[in-house]
Amino acid sequence: MAVTNAEIAAIFNRIADLLEIQDENPFRVRAYRNAAHMVQGLSRSLAEMVEQGETLEALPTIGKDLAAKIREIAATGSLRKLKQLQTMVSPGLVDLLKVPGLGPRRLRTLRDYLNIQNIEELEKAARQGLLRQLPGFGVKTEQNILRELSELQQRTRRFLWAEVEEIAEQLLTYLRQLPGVKRVEMAGSYRRRRETVGDLDILVSTSRNAPVMDAFVSFASVERVISKGTTRSTVVLRTGLQVDLRMVPQVSFGAAWHYFTGSKAHNIAVRVMGVQRGLKVNEYGIFDKQDKRIAGRTEKEIYAQMGLQWMEPELREQRGELEAAAQGRLPKLITENDLRGDLHCHTTTSDGQDSLEAMAKAAQQMGHDYLAITEHSQHLRVARGLSADTLLAHCDAIDALNEKLKGIRLLKGVEVDILEDGSLDMPDYVLQRLDICLGAIHSAFGLSEQKQTARVIRAMDNPRFNVLAHPSARLIDKRSACRLDMEQIMDAALARGCCLELNSQPRRLDLNDVHCRMAKERGLKVVISTDAHSADQLGYLRYGVAQARRGWLEKDDVLNSRRLAALLKALQR
């Protein structure tokens, strides 16, 4: 899809914001703002002008430099200059620009006077009445900011996938047992297994005029009904989660399911393929030139009209899946059944809630062949990290338990802190005794990209190092990813025979989908682990598997799909 003028203007405005926050030359700031304004009002598409080789410099406010930037955006959809600026301003501060009424100038005042760096700090200060005293602010501004903040939270609140799993299942069960209901399915980001979902999208088809809408709005967890109609209703649950329900005729079910599953970008690309074939594609079906419906009942029919195989929802992000399908090269995505064990968990010996025995038993019940016990090292005090001696004693306990266990093998491991200088928080003579060594960043999250990358690679230089656990250290909605040159890290891991973890904790899901794909393309193996802190959490593997599938991973791309002997061999560097 060609870049729109609005997108180009938004990039220029964002650059102006970032420059202004950094107190850059006001003339440069104004140059970007003027250009953004001009671009917005332009009646011709800049992308088109670029494509046709027209000179942009003839446009008002556009000089050589900005013309080059427009060409870059038109060609790549983004701008390196913007990315570079974004790394120079703290992400929390950039978030603050989303608050209506807070421009860069006020933002600077907030930072300089009250050291406010993110939304939480802003809210706290506003509640304490600290804003009204600042130059350029007042009681009214303070109240406006508080109101905008609460609206912003309502508007942008997304839920972790795992947070809505239970209610989504309950809704499906509830709707499926209603009289006259033929079919009920989840669509949207929930079906695509995105790590967070904005709302739930449910499709229902019925045999006759079944009173589904009445039943839907009186579902026990509904707090508020936003709208109720014959074909569509929207409710908000007590948790704040919004749910859309749409009634769909059976002849259109596949088309609607495809449309409302998305992603939007995928849909648009499919529609464009349709246009190229002289077909109209929408949520009711595929229609030929005579407006006759030629597909719609199943998703398979929809894809077949485009000459494509059906594809898994996790792939539908317009990241090359349509091209892959056209060439018959869709990945055979990994499933939970392909995994033979879990390589990251904690017991009561560090910060876990269950004993070694309980974890082993639960893992065995899940059908695992092996489970690595990986307690924290002592640098991580909050997690009651182990000293060298306590880890050695723990190894004895694991050896003793392995003597008794049948059908499952516990691996001796550690989740060792990677210290700021890249050294490991455990002496080599202890690491030597282990089957597996995970290294992880738990401190100094804010280092520059260069330092953070060097730190991790230095850790991997230790020949005992096997797996980089939760590589980016991000916590969804709580902590941004560390600045790391992921390509460099992956190349370094590959060269040293290390691999990267996909941590399945719902708030981590780290590696993310894009990075999983990056690893696969390099031939770097990924380990999918739970980082379970209780026996229950061993079931989190399903979240990690979903993320892996979004990253196109297949069985062979994942190390813990191997049998124990092959796994142990692969861990030898």
Q: Which of 59, 126, 197, 519 binds ligand DGT (CB under 6 A)?
A: 197
Q: Which of 189, 452, 466, 503 binds ligand DGT (CB under 6 A)?
A: 189
Supply 333's token pair. 């995505």
Place of tokens 């989190």: 540
Strands of the sheet containing 341-342, edge to edge, are 341-342, 370-376, 409-417, 436-440, 467-468, 499-503, 526-529
The residue whose Cβ lies closest to Ca ion is: 188
Q: Tell which residue, 409, 335, 362, has the closest CA to residue 567.
A: 409
d(CA 415, CA 439): 6
Burial class (CB in 10 A: 0-12, 13-18, 19+), 307: exposed
Does 260 sit near ligand DGT (CB under 6 A)? yes
Based on CB atoms, which residue is closest to ligand DGT, 262 or 385? 262
Residues touching Ca ion: how many (CB under 5 A)? 5
Q: Which of 201, 314, 435, 513 binds ligand DGT (CB under 6 A)?
A: 201
Does 188 sit near Ca ion (CB under 5 A)? yes
Does 506 sit near ligand DGT (CB under 6 A)? no
Burial class (CB in 10 A: 0-12, 13-18, 19+), 112: exposed
Does 195 sit near Ca ion (CB under 5 A)? no
Contacts of 488 (CB under 8 A, 6+ apart): 453, 457
Q: Which helix (H) or strand (E) segment is 317 a member of?
A: none
Based on CB atoms, which residue is closest to ligand DGT, 234 or 350? 234
Helices 80-88 and 5-21: angle between axes, nearest 10 degrees = 30
Looking at 191-199, 227-235, 298-306, 542-550, which segment touches Ca ion (CB under 5 A)?
Answer: 191-199
Based on CB atoms, which residue is closest to ligand DGT, 267 or 347? 267
Amino acid at 195: E
The residue whose Cβ lies closest to ligand DGT is: 262
What's the min distance (Å) between Cβ of 159 and Ca ion?
10
Strands of the sheet containing 293-295, edge to edge, are 280-282, 285-287, 293-295
Residues 229-268 touching Ca ion, rule: CB under 5 A, are 244
Looking at 102-110, 189-197, 396-404, 439-447, which segment touches ligand DGT (CB under 6 A)?
Answer: 189-197
Does 313 sit near ligand DGT (CB under 6 A)? no
Does 185 sit near Ca ion (CB under 5 A)? no
Supply 21's token pair. 């926050």
Q: Which of 198, 249, 463, 497 binds ligand DGT (CB under 6 A)?
A: 198
Does 262 sit near ligand DGT (CB under 6 A)? yes
Q: Which of 13, 206, 233, 267 binds ligand DGT (CB under 6 A)?
A: 267
Burial class (CB in 10 A: 0-12, 13-18, 19+), 351: middle
Looking at 138-146, 178-186, 199-207, 413-421, which segment touches Ca ion (CB under 5 A)?
Answer: 199-207
Based on CB atoms, which residue is closest to ligand DGT, 189 or 504? 189
Q: What would you measure as the largest C-alpha separation in the chain, in angstroms?
A: 81
User: CA 354, 356, 360, 361: dihedral to nearest 10 degrees?
Assistant: -60
Q: Are 275 and 298 in contact (CB under 8 A)?
A: no
Residues touching ligand DGT: how many (CB under 6 A)? 14
- Whether the link from the prior residue into 96 is cis, omega within 30° of 0, is no
The item of Ca ion, ligand DGT, none sharing an interface with residue 466, based on CB under 5 to 8 Å by kind, is none
Based on CB atoms, which residue is closest to ligand DGT, 199 or 554? 199
Does 254 sit near ligand DGT (CB under 6 A)? no
Supply 277's token pair. 């074939």
Looking at 92-100, 260-268, 429-437, 485-493, which segment touches ligand DGT (CB under 6 A)?
Answer: 260-268
Based on CB atoms, which residue is closest to Ca ion, 188 or 341? 188
What's the min distance (Å) between Cβ of 411 and ligand DGT?
37
What's the min distance (Å) between Cβ of 291 and ligand DGT?
19
Does 201 sit near Ca ion (CB under 5 A)? yes
Q: Exposure pattern of 247-276 as b/e (b: 16+ CB <10 Å)?
A: bbeeebbbbbbbbbbbbeebbebbbebbee
User: CA 262, 169, 248, 304: dihedral to nearest 10 degrees?
Assistant: 50
What's the min distance (Å) between Cβ of 189 and ligand DGT?
3
Terminal alpha carbon distance of the chain: 45
Looking at 85-93, 257-265, 472-480, 482-490, which segment touches ligand DGT (CB under 6 A)?
Answer: 257-265
Amino acid at 388: A
What's the min distance (Å) between Cβ of 271 and ligand DGT?
7
Residues that bind ligand DGT in the complex, under the rule CB under 6 A: 188-189, 194, 197-199, 201, 259-260, 262-264, 267-268
Residues that bind Ca ion in the complex, under the rule CB under 5 A: 188-189, 199, 201, 244
